[in-house]
Amino acid sequence: MQAINLESEKKEILARYKGLLKASRRTLQKGDKELIRKAFEVALEAHKNMRRKSGEPYIFHPIAVAQISAEEIGLGTTSIVCALLHDTVEDTDITLEDISGMFGKKVAQIIDGLTKIAGVFDQTSSLQAENFKKMMLTLSDDIRVILIKIADRLHNMRTLESMKRDKQIKIASETLYLYAPLAHRLGLNGIKVELEDLGLKYTNPDAYNEIAQKLIDTEPERKKFIQKFIEPIKEILTEQGLKFKILGRPKSIFSIYNKIKEKGVEFEDIYDLFAIRIVVDTPYDQEKTDCWKIYSIITDFYHPNPDRLRDWISTPKANGYESLHTTVMGPEGKWVEVQIRSLRMDELAEKGYAAHWKYKDSAAERENQLEEWISRIREMLESPEENALDFIDDFKLNLFADEIFVFTPKGDMKTLPAGSTSLDFAFEIHSKVGAKCIGAKVNHKLVPLSHELKSGDQVEILTSNKQSPREDWINFVITAKAKSKIKHALKEQRKVVADEGREILERKFYRHKLDFTIQNISDFGTFLKLPTSQEVFYRVAKGAIDSKEIKEFIEHKENPTKNVKKEQPKTLEQMVSSARGKTDLLVIGDDMQKLDYKLSPCCNPIPGDDVFGFISIGEGIKIHRVNCPNAVQLLSNYAYRVVKAKWNSQQLISFLAGIKITGSDELGLVNNITKIISTQYNVNMRSINFDTDDGIFEGTIMVYVHDTNHLTQLIGKLKKVPGVISITRVDGEKEDGNARSASEN
């Protein structure tokens, strides 16, 4: 173990503290420096004997969180003090009363919010979703709680290399699933991009490293191209007397990775690898004019793509983002995305809502947008019975979605997620309007409730007092507000029906000389395997339970041992503890394991893949690849059902894997490919599917391989076949969801 040099550590702590003061200088007012100093000293004393997993002093972490809050989010003194103290109440002997006495009620309130959500997504907790819901509730107290939490997560992601691999995957998955979209929704573009890139770095390191290396390799060529592109524009902008800077930025690694996955293309085929940003320093009232002036100058030199013009200056995004985007045909016949914005817009794009203090003119408008968003979250949290996982899914959907702008008959504009329907719009107007909606007129044409709206549509909602929400309405809406209101209304309707069912059941019990007691109702529900007595009453009212079931129940009461199964199914908790065992590690392919596991067909894991086990109800343990399409959601929402897993490489077993091949349709090409697979590599093929279109062929082959090395060698050999353009591994078999492994004979 390396000896600790306390003297050099003290110097480093002081240097970092000075760096924090420098970062917070622009927001400091009289007395603020002393307050920050006091918070620093309290935190330093409280954490003096604590170290991080990396071995460094714990105080490095709160200083870093405070610095991110000040420098990258643009928060002021109160937030810096809270960031320095954010772990003290949870991890040390300091109480909230102590904090309140030293720094006031506001700081104590924010620290309380941070302490409440500190346990969110604990590795073994089964309440991650519930805790996330609680975390969102703190938004209504003070948004700084969430902003400091994002700063905390960003620093944890930056220092994740010192954690164990399973913790890395877990934390990175949560980050991609919740924290990155949260940062995006709060307008923290710079942080959102970094969280996504770091998330990918730990969930799929191979893909991350490959793209990062390719970006480094292509940088000189990119710089040369950007220089050539901006040269003529620079000259004219200077002549026009505009103060500006031009930046050429590559797309984030995460967005490139997504494009490769979604479009099924190679890195080299992505034309918009970078964007050119022109930032103009101009007064607030001149911003719009100057941005359009720059657009006009650019399009004088380069031909714009009319389908790619995005005006977020006239209509900012819901997270406050303002910018003018266009895609133009640049030198060498390459499309180039150009972003035009003012200095104010650029700062707001990077620092989001937290930066608005600097721009008082538009602060009120931005406050209103923020309040609107928070009030939507409050609406989503109104129903306490709402399933927490449903809440997260609805919440994420509304975080990620692109936006559309639609108008009321009077011309008022409403912002909705892309994909919203006329029924979503009705609930956006008012929950009572939504509940009574029978249809809509979009641009004066009658449309059904499920009609998908487009930006610019003018919508008039038609209602009837006889209408009430129906079960199938859930399928017609995508906004969390509409879903929540429909579920609540259906629950109320179900309650009314259940009340009728209660009276019917009481009469039926009376006829069968059975006492209508709470115990008998509960036993009857257990006998029918129904979760609640309300469900029993509801089914009685609907005619699904009749005298036949009551007679069987009476027989069961008189002779309880009849038809009773000896072995009760295991509860989820029992399954989890049995699967975790003493070692907390599932060894795949180990004969000593007496556990039922399957390889998941959604990602077809093979030995050598980074994997984890997921305990499913009724299907034992399913093994998933860490970069499986479903992994991020499983690891974020159900961490308590995840088991660490590794491969036992002693046995030679064949596993199903899919490869996708594209190439030019040359004579004998398919024959050459199949010959290499079956003859040279002795690999069995499960299925083969090829299709050609205008001289280009695309094929998917499902093959049985031993491990990732075996598959990599096979792909390497196939890439050398003349006519083959690209080969990628595919996640699973679409035509057959029952992928299986087979032993090698």
Distance CA 339, CA 310 (A): 9
Token output for 319: 């997270």
What was the pLDDT predicted at 123?
A: 42
Distance CA 146, CA 152 (A): 10
Half-sphere exposure of 381 (CA within 13 A, CB side): 18
Q: Reduce the secondary structure of 655-721 to three states and give it as a string.
A: EEEEEEEEEECCCCHHHHHHHHHHHHCCCCEEEEEEEEECCEEEEEEEEEECCHHHHHHHHHHHHCC
Residues composing the chain: 745
Q: Classify each residue of 480-496 as buried b or exposed e, where b means 16 or more C-beta atoms within 10 Å of its C-beta.
A: bbbbbbbbbbbeeebee
What was the pLDDT predicted at 623?
A: 85
90 labelled catalytic: yes
Residues 6+ apart with CB under 8 A from 531: 525
Distance CA 24, CA 21 (A): 5
Residues 6+ apart with CB under 8 A from 727: 659, 660, 661, 662, 715, 718, 719
Q: 412: exposed, middle or buried (C-beta count within 10 Å: 0-12, 13-18, 19+)?
A: exposed
- Running DSSP on this structure, what letter comes out for residue 252? P
Q: Write out residues in the chain with pLDDT < 70, as ranges.
A: 1-4, 116-141, 318-319, 352-402, 560-596, 617-619, 640, 648-654, 681-682, 732-745
Distance CA 615, CA 507 (A): 44
Distance CA 282, CA 276 (A): 19
C-beta separation of 681 from 721 below 8 A: no
Sorted by where each starts, the structural domains of the chain and their CATH numbers stand as 6-203 (1.10.3210.10), 216-358 (3.30.460.10), 488-558 (no CATH), 572-647 (no CATH), 653-743 (3.30.70.260)
190 C-beta neighbours (distance < 10 Å), count: 15
91 labelled catalytic: yes
Q: What is the pLDDT of residues 6-60, one digit of tens each?
A: 788 888 889 988 888 888 887 777 888 888 999 889 888 888 888 888 888 888 9
Token output for 682: 């002795």
Distance CA 128, CA 458 (A): 40
Distance CA 640, CA 125 (A): 6
What was the pLDDT predicted at 739?
A: 33
CA distances from 720 to 39, 663, 680, 725 (A): 63, 12, 14, 9
Distance CA 111, CA 148 (A): 10
Token output for 399: 């975080």
Catalytic residue among 41, 45, 90, 372: 90
Which residue has 């970069």 as its token pair?
A: 627
Q: 107: exposed, middle or buried (C-beta count within 10 Å: 0-12, 13-18, 19+)?
A: buried
What was the pLDDT predicted at 124?
A: 41
What was the pLDDT predicted at 62?
A: 92
Token output for 629: 């399409």
Best CA proximity match to 94, nearest among 111, 79, 80, 109:
111
- Beta-strand (E) ranges in 500-596? 585-588
Which residue has 């399933």 as its token pair?
A: 387
C-beta separation of 181 from 396 below 8 A: yes
Token output for 660: 């996708």
Q: 13: exposed, middle or buried (C-beta count within 10 Å: 0-12, 13-18, 19+)?
A: middle
Q: Which helix (H) or strand (E) holds 78?
A: helix 77-85
Distance CA 241, CA 563 (A): 90
Q: Which amino acid makes up residue 215?
A: L
In 581-655, alpha helices (H): 631-637
> What is the distance of C-alpha 370 from the center of its chain?
20
pTM: 0.65
With the CA atoms of 235, 236, 242 and 247 taken in that order, what torsion angle do they form, in degrees rounded to the nearest 10?
Answer: -60
DSSP 606-618: -TTS-EEEEE-SS
Catalytic residue among 12, 91, 506, 590: 91
CA distances from 343 to 13, 77, 170, 243, 326 (A): 34, 24, 38, 10, 18
What was the pLDDT predicted at 184?
A: 82
Helix 32-46 to helix 77-85 angle, to the nearest 10 degrees?
10
Q: Which helix (H) or strand (E) holds 441?
A: strand 437-442
What was the pLDDT predicted at 668?
A: 75
43 C-beta neighbours (distance < 10 Å), count: 25
* Phi, psi values for residue 645, rounded to 5°: -140, 150
